[in-house]
Amino acid sequence: MSVQFPPIILASKSPRRQELLTLMGLDFKVELKDVDESYPEGLSPAEIAVYISGQKAKAFTGDGEIVITADTIVALNGEILGKPTDRAHAQEMLKKLSGSKHEVFTGVTLVKGERMYSFYDRTAVTCKAVTATEIDFYIDNYKPFDKAGSYGVQDWWGIVVVERIEGSYTNVMGLPTEKLYNELLKFI
Ligand SMILES: Cc1cn([C@H]2C[C@H](O)[C@@H](COP(=O)(O)OP(=O)(O)OP(=O)(O)O)O2)c(=O)[nH]c1=O
């Protein structure tokens, strides 16, 4: 790669984020810290994603290194859909997403020394209507319990159910790579 970035730490256990950063051609290390993912009331979906990515970043100082954290949430008509707590919760979320359009927000925070900068990207996703049997098939075979909104745009749901995506695809997967690249160039 022609651009030289300082050493990068990705503070995320998400295999999708690790994969996307690798696809960006960046060298990085993964470091994990436990973070409370609760957020204050009254925030918009974009503000929630940014707030939680900021909370994840506060655990790091990033001396000489750039630390990247992110948080992805799904919003449907003002309702926030995070990760499902169990099978029934996943069924409920997928039923709501079926036959409708929702938004995915990923907040990203960059940290280097004393500097901290956050941004977000927004993608609109339209899903076709699916049956209860298809939802059960999906949950049983793809176990989307680690995913916001209970689905992965990169798996069966994205291939078969997602009709239309307006905005960044990688933002839905968990990291808005196009925007992240531009922001990293400005941040270093
Ligand atoms: C909507 C959607 C979410 N997701 C994933 C991305 C994130 O991993 C997860 C949202 O949870 P997050 O809390 O954003 O991230 P995480 O807990 O997986 O990882 P970490 O906090 O360590 O960074 O949902 C997909 O993989 N595909 C999708 O289509």
Go through the domains of the chain in sequence order and give each one's CATH number: 8-187 (3.90.950.10)
DSSP designation for 167: S
Read off the pLDDT band of 60 (50, 70, 90). confident
- Hey, whose CA ends up nearest to atom 16 of ligand 1? 14
ipTM exceeding 0.90, yes/no: yes
Residue with CA closest to ligand 1 atom 24: 147
- Per-residue pLDDT at 59: 86
- Compute the average pLDDT of residues 89-98: 98
At 84, is the secondary structure helix, strand, or coil?
Answer: coil
pTM: 0.96
For helices 132-142 and 87-97, the axis angle rounded to 10 degrees is 130
144 vs 63 pLDDT, higher one: 144
Residue spans of beta strands (DSSP E) within the chain? 8-10, 28-30, 66-76, 79-81, 101-112, 115-127, 162-166
**Residue 125 reports pLDDT greater than 60:** yes
